[in-house]
Structure formats: C-alpha cells, structure tokens
Amino acid sequence: MRADTALDALVSGLQGHLVADVDWQALIALANHTLLTPALFSSLAQSGQIERLPGDVRDYLAFIDDCNRNRNLSLRAQLIETVAAFNSRGIVPILLKGAVPLFVSPPGRLPSRMTSDLDIAVEAGEEAAAKGCLEELGYREVPDVRGMARPQDAGILELRRYRPDGFGCPQPVQRDGLRVKIPSLEARAMHWIMHDLLKEGDYWRGRIDLRHLHDLAQLAESEQLDWAALRTAMPNKTTRNALDTQLLTLHHFFGTKIPADAAGRPMPRLQHWRRIYTVRHPVSGAPLRLAGNLAWGLSRLTRSLELARRNPIELVRRAGLILSNKGLRSKI
C-alpha cells in the first residue's frame, strides 16, 4: 500500500468508514506515527465497523485503546489534583488543548485522544503562586524541556502565562466543585493552527499534523465554530494565509465546511497543493520539502544566530534534523 493510500484509509477510518483491500500493517504504522490509533479504534467502534476487522488487527487496536484510556485516566487524575490545589489558593486556571476534554468529559466517557502533556495557563500575576503550588505537589522543572513533572505521573505539566487572544475572556466552568476557565472554540482552534503552522513551521515546511487536524474537524463538527470570525482575527497577511491553508487541508481530508473566501486566494491554494503533493508523492516532492525547510530556517535566522553563540553543536543538530526531515514526531 502506497503512503497516500494508507493516508486515505486512515482518514476514512477516522470517519468510521472502511475501505476495500486495506493494508493494515501500513495503516496501523501511519496511525501509530500520527498518534491516532485510539481515535481510529473509537471511530470504527462507534460506527459498528470494528467487527469487520481481522481479529489480530481488532485485538491490537483494542489493546492500544485500552492503554491510552488508562493513561488518560492518570492524566485526568493529575489534572484534577492540580486544579484542586490551584483553587485552594484562589487560582482558577485556564485549560488549553488536550486538557479541556479531559476535564469536561464524564468519567465514564473519557476522550480517545492521545494527549502528550497537560497545558495549563494562569493570569500573569498568578504565575509565581501557581509554580509554588506545583512545587509543593512535588513537581520539578524538566531540563531542556518546557514544563514540570513528577516521576509518578503520566505526562509533563506545562504552565504558561495566559495571553488574551481577541476572542473574549475564557468562560468559567465548574465540575465536581472544581473551577476552571475554558477558551472559546475559536480561541482553541486558533491555538492549534498557529502553534503548528507558525510556531513549529508547518506553513513553510509543508507539513501536516494530522492529529491536530482531526482535533479541528471534531471541534467544528461537535459545535458551531465561527471560521469567519477566526479569519477576521488574524493580525496580518502571513497568519491569514496560514489559517486559510489549514482550512483548505481540513476540508480536503475531512470535508469540513469552510468559508468560501478561504479557498479563493492564490497563496493559500498554492501552499495547500504543496502540502498535499509532498505527502502523496514524497520522492518527487522532496525538492519542495527541501525548499520549505530552507525557508523555515531563514525565518528563524535571528534565533539561530543566538543559538549559534550559546551552543553551536545544538544548532548544527537542529539544522540537520530540519534539512533531513527528521524529528517530526507525529507530523506527515
């Protein structure tokens, strides 16, 4: 099975559909790489297709789903403990990314999403108190990684300062006596899009984080997400191009309804074509990938010069990873 065929089969599976003549080894390898194996099992189970799978495939997917459920239970307990400790200090944290469904989902219906860590924000004046609270719980800074951790926990906890995003204040939510704030749908979508396309360079490198794309598709499907408001909030042309590129890719894979204006401008259409072409044709698309990696490197030139002064060996290592398309984690 070619890489693009495995991709199509995975996307269909995430929507609860099976395609004919599936190469399960290739599909599962891609699902594992993109951290979507539990989501694949959940979608096929909900659509009633799970019994049509070969027995060994079904057993493997169920095993991974069960392991992920146990890990999410641990992450949820870790999150609840943290929120309770913050609340006792008068701090109402803002939950970000994967921490949101872990908190709001009923205990018996934990999300199937693979969550790597817990992202929590607090107001600027609460940072010191929040960090001190975590230290009392036994958390310590992780060297060379942004976050704090304990040996017994399933994931790292990343504490950051909340920055207003133009979509109003996060809304207070209370569950089982615990108080948190949750950003709007548009703010959560913008966080994922800007993190991937701009902070991690997917817009320049032509990469796709399929797990986050699936997150966006589910967010848009479950609730009324105002894409037009999101497009209006973009501060400049580059961020608007990045958003429209992601919307085109979202529509391409998951059929999500997007504003007509998002598909009309030449640059996002070109960037979208480049992403899809290099995913489906990795050999002939290699020059496009190299050009994108070089563009990404140039866009980070200022930071690179700073890193070169502090740690030239680390700069060479990172440059090698970028140019060789390594260290991409779950991206395709």
**Weakest-pLDDT range from 172-186, 259-273, 292-306, 314-328:** 314-328
Final residue before a domain boundary, out of 155, 183, 211: 183
Q: Which domain holds residue 267?
A: 186-332
Same-domain pairing of 309 and 194:
yes
d(CA 249, CA 271): 10
233 and 268 both lie in a single domain = yes
Give the pLDDT score at 305. Answer: 57
- Does the structure show a pLDDT above 60 at 291? yes
- Residue 319 confidence (pLDDT): 55
User: Is pLDDT of 4 > 90?
Assistant: no
pLDDT digits (tens, 9 = 90+) for 201-253: 899 889 999 999 999 999 998 778 889 888 888 889 999 999 999 999 999 99
Amino acid in the structure at residue 124: A
**Which pair of structure tokens corresponds to residue 247?**
């919307």
Q: What is the pLDDT of residue 292?
A: 86
Is position 59 within any domain?
no
pLDDT at 93 over 80: yes
Q: Are residues 12 and 153 in the same domain?
A: no
Residue 112 lies in a domain: yes
**Residue 250 amino acid letter:** L
Do 145 and 249 share a structural domain? no
pLDDT in tens, 301-310: 655 555 555 6
- Give pLDDT, residue 318: 58
Instruction: Write down the number of H helices and E strands in the chain.
Output: 15, 7
Of 121, 134, 215, 125, nearest to 170 (Cα)?
121
Whether the pLDDT of residue 33 is over 80: the answer is yes
- Of the chain, the percentage scoring pLDDT greater than 70 comes to 90
Domain match, 218 and 289 both: yes
In a domain, 62, yes or no: no
CA distance 261 to 207: 23
Does residue 83 sit in the same domain as residue 191? Answer: no
Looking at the structure, tell me whether residues 8 and 112 fall in a common domain.
no
Determine, yes or no, domain membership for 40.
yes
Classify residue 58: in a domain, yes or no. Answer: no
Q: Which of 183, 210, 244 is the last residue of a domain?
A: 183
Question: What rounded mean pLDDT belongs to the chain?
Answer: 88
- Nearest CA to 247 out of 313, 236, 226, 235 is that of 226
User: In the predicted model, is pLDDT for residue 100 greater than 90?
Assistant: yes
Q: Residue 199 has what pLDDT?
A: 87
pTM of structure: 0.87
- 147 vs 143 pLDDT, higher one: 147
Query: How does DSSP classify residue 234?
Result: -
Residues 12 and 114 in one domain: no
How far apart (Å, rounded) are the C-alpha atoms in residues 126 and 55?
52
Cα–Cα distances in Å, from 31 out to 14, 40, 249, 278?
Answer: 10, 8, 18, 18
Res 274 pLDDT > 80: yes
Across 29-55, average pLDDT: 95
How do residues 145-171 score in pLDDT, each as one tens digit? 789 999 999 999 999 999 887 777 899
Please determine, for residue 327, whether its predicted confidence score (pLDDT) is greater than 60.
Answer: no
Give 45's pLDDT tier (boundaries 50, 70, 90): very high
**Does the pLDDT value for residue 300 go beyond 90?**
no
Cα separation, 193 vs 28, in Å, equals 26
* Total number of domains in the chain: 3
Q: Which residues are CB-contacts of 64 (< 8 A; sequence separation ≥ 6)?
A: 32, 37, 38, 41
Q: Are residues 149 and 195 in the same domain?
A: no
pLDDT of residue 2: 57
| Strand order, beta sheet including 156-161 | 140-141, 148-149, 156-161, 117-122, 94-96, 178-182, 171-175
pLDDT at 104 over 70: yes
Residue 170 and residue 152: Cα distance in Å, rounded? Answer: 31
The answer on 49 and 151 residing in a single domain is no
140/200 same-domain check? no
By C-alpha distance, which of 268, 201, 199, 200 is closest to 231?
A: 268
Same domain, 199 and 277: yes
66 assigned to some structural domain = no
pLDDT of residue 35: 95
- Long-range contacts: 12-20, Cβ < 8 Å, 24+? 13/40, 13/43, 13/44, 14/39, 14/40, 14/43, 14/214, 14/254, 15/43, 15/254, 16/43, 16/44, 16/46, 16/47, 16/49, 17/47, 17/49, 18/44, 18/49, 18/52, 18/53
